[in-house]
Structure 1
């Protein structure tokens, strides 16, 4: 590539702006405008692509609605009830509180859809619980809170899968249900590793919950646990579109929080503020990606890459392995949403040409990108938990590596066995 070409200079501008601390979305818009200027094209095309992309996609409305539902359900009293429920289920097993950390991430997935939100909310609370009375070291608790947080975005509702549906045109309903088994697999391998570590390190056991208390604990958590049932029921019954289902989820979260869990007006106001901030952040990233994707299309990069990969005569499995290696590498440096919005659209034409199912490809890619959040040197969850737990990065990484290995093994299974992802969508009527 000519380093003085408009495209190369635009890429350099994006990297430079990002390194200076400019948000990635703004950096992509700035670099794209520079490209249009250097090419002598109408710079108003940037605004045109931004407006056309954001206002023509009804699916985009699902993102702030899912975020609002998560913010409402993150009310402290709801989290307490869910954690008591998780403790009642797995607290008695070896590494009891560590097992609870993983299970709560599976449960909290229905209220989050975002790994960073999971880590900042329930992950922070679990960090405090695990290190209380020195039951677990701060670095182990921080590593576990980081790796367990990546489970949420695989399970529905998943904001990364919504973004993939946006760039690929794949059914969000089938993507959601396709992520169920891989998400549960990720939780299962983490819990299995904790069991093994508990035997080696003599992790403490939690006091078993009495059987007669189980109905009360389950009853208190039941309304919150029903959120994914309500969401998926709306999607697969055909009653609502995905965006309308997100609205129903937000309304249900508000209803049970206000009527059953005593949510105050101040809590609701805080939820609105938190969801607005996160929605604006994601919205700017999407806007930047839409403009930069126009630049990529203008340079005919997808077609050129497709021809280059076609010349290699890769089999579908070889292509998936190459994609996994690329995404794991990029995930160590880039934010996940950027990869989904900028990199995956370039790879999708080749995947389609090779006959790779778009639901399988999307779930595999999102699983890979989520693992990147805990992959050094730039894993965002590592830095977040390092700050929350106040532990050195080196100590945190030592505790993270075993979990990374088992998660990559789970990714290998999902990559090599498409039916593991597709069995539930096909039962729901998917014909891909």
Structure 2
């Protein structure tokens, strides 16, 4: 059985090093492992069935709908309205534009459901403003990069939908609600570091806004913010499921973009739909391939072998969780969030449930941990996008990112060892 583990992971990382797309690397490594026990034709047939079976889920319909809603938001000029609203909220703090960047990422990321989209949209707007105010470009890029993953925790989040599917049906509503407090803590942690640096460097405070300006800015921000209220209010209130909520989100964003703001026309709509379809295909290809790999791992008892190996190190849950966090942080540096979630959930979830950890709590831990990885070199997508929109080299953003990473690691430990940070709101609002 040790041979199965070696073949699976050696072939997987080997194919990745060869530059193969990660979905193909997942599928071929699963096939290589299955071929240890079945002929090629039978193994390929079994994995093809598991591939299709992994996509045969009503819950997965939420992903293309939320992606389309996010794409409509990205093209609808929503970022500028949320940035203006963020200025009203945090404009009087030292380093006002840095705090505004964080709050705007939290708002836009939660609405669009994409950290990279938030990083590009908010960073592209904020970088010229911060440069004009005398902010160091590396610092400005670091704040944008470190805060954009908050949208992966603050719902609606495709990350939690994928985790719900791969974990065997963990409540999406509970996961959505559980993400609020850790997501807010992530944003506040970045703001604390940014505020300290801004105070030391003497970055300016925004002028006090008049009551008329506050009212006007807030009114402009209410329509996009209502998407969160409608989606989460309906899910928590039991009016509709997460999948139905995703369809409602598309209808609402279409109405905003085409009727209220008129930033999307019938001429541009096909391209937006095509972009969303391409993104959906990438995600679903990963999910299907990971379904095949999960079956290959289960058939060869690989999760049990990994579980036994971890538990042989220690029977102390604190130590086991520390080891799991360390492994995931390293994996996150080299692998994108979705495939890492799909591969390592079935491996580590049985381990943590053995000592009584709630699946919702573990889902939040996974999302928080892996979201840090998209900000780190060598393959962090948010790192590359954030540096690109700020027009700064990666090396210049790394130094100001280090204290932010330190705070995020401390918050990760807090989320790991204080279950109430994840479970208090589901208990309160859903009776979970």
Q: TM-score, normalised by structure 2?
A: 0.94
1:176-215 maps to which residues of 2 (within 5 A)? 176-215=176-215
Q: Deviations over 1:61-106 (max 9, x none)?
A: 1111111111111234322222111112212321011111000011
Find the counterpart in structure 2 of residue 142 from structure 1: 141
Q: Deviations over 1:16-55 (max 9, x none)?
A: 3323332101221122233334533412111100111102
Q: Deviations over 1:105-147 (max 9, x none)?
A: 111123222212222222332223322x262222222111111
- Determine whether 1:276 maps to 2:277: yes
Find the counterpart in structure 1 of residue 335 from structure 2: 334
Find the counterpart in structure 2 of residue 411 from structure 1: 412
Counterparts of 2:101 and 2:266 in 1: how far apart (Å)? 30
Q: Is the 8 A contact 1:92 1:206 kept in 2?
A: yes
Counterparts of 1:407 and 1:313 in 2: how far apart (Å)? 26
- How much does 1:161 deviate? 1.3
Counterparts of 1:304 and 1:404 in 2: how far apart (Å)? 32
* Deviating more after overlay: 75-84 vs 335-344: 75-84
Counterparts of 2:333 and 2:28 in 1: how far apart (Å)? 24
- How much does 1:300 deviate? 0.7
1:73-112 maps to which residues of 2 (within 5 A)? 73-112=73-112
Find the counterpart in structure 1 of residue 380 from structure 2: 379
Find the counterpart in structure 2 of residue 155 from structure 1: 154
Counterparts of 1:147 and 1:268 in 2: how far apart (Å)? 32
Counterparts of 1:281 and 1:109 in 2: how far apart (Å)? 20
Change over 3 Å in CA distance of 1:299–1:147 after alignment to 2: same
- How much does 1:271 deviate? 2.1
1:255-334 maps to which residues of 2 (within 5 A)? 255-262=255-262, 263-334=264-335
Find the counterpart in structure 2 of residue 401 from structure 1: 402
Q: TM-score, normalised by structure 1?
A: 0.94
Counterparts of 2:362 and 2:8 in 1: how far apart (Å)? 29
Counterparts of 1:214 and 1:98 in 2: how far apart (Å)? 19
Counterparts of 2:78 and 2:95 in 1: how far apart (Å)? 24
* Secondary structure, counterpart of 2:430 in structure 1: coil
Q: Is the 8 A contact 1:90 1:99 kept in 2?
A: yes
Q: Is the 8 A contact 1:336 1:373 kept in 2?
A: yes
Find the counterpart in structure 2 of residue 172 from structure 1: 172
Find the counterpart in structure 1 of residue 392 from structure 2: 391
* Secondary structure, counterpart of 1:72 in structure 2: helix
Q: Is the 8 A contact 1:113 1:156 kept in 2?
A: yes
Q: Is the 8 A contact 2:70 2:114 kept in 1?
A: no
Counterparts of 1:340 and 1:430 in 2: how far apart (Å)? 27
Counterparts of 2:403 and 2:280 in 1: how far apart (Å)? 34
Counterparts of 2:313 and 2:13 in 1: how far apart (Å)? 30
Find the counterpart in structure 2 of residue 26 from structure 1: 24
Alignment RMSD: 1.9
Change over 3 Å in CA distance of 1:11–1:325 after alignment to 2: closer
* Secondary structure, counterpart of 1:265 in structure 2: coil
Find the counterpart in structure 2 of residue 232 from structure 1: 232
- How much does 1:420 deviate? 1.6
- Structure 2 unaligned blocks of 5 or more: none
Change over 3 Å in CA distance of 1:402–1:237 after alignment to 2: same
Find the counterpart in structure 2 of residue 64 from structure 1: 64
Q: Is the 8 A contact 2:72 2:257 kept in 1?
A: yes
Counterparts of 1:96 and 1:37 in 2: how far apart (Å)? 58
- How much does 1:205 deviate? 2.3
- Structure 1 unaligned blocks of 5 or more: none
Q: Deviations over 1:263-320 (max 9, x none)?
A: 3223433321221121111111112211111221122111222233334442333222
Q: Is the 8 A contact 1:110 1:227 kept in 2?
A: no
Counterparts of 1:314 and 1:374 in 2: how far apart (Å)? 32
* Deviating more after overlay: 65-74 vs 320-329: 320-329
Change over 3 Å in CA distance of 1:246–1:28 after alignment to 2: same
* Deviating more after overlay: 235-244 vs 372-381: 372-381
Q: Is the 8 A contact 1:75 1:267 kept in 2?
A: no
Q: Is the 8 A contact 1:174 1:430 kept in 2?
A: no
Q: Is the 8 A contact 2:303 2:347 kept in 1?
A: yes
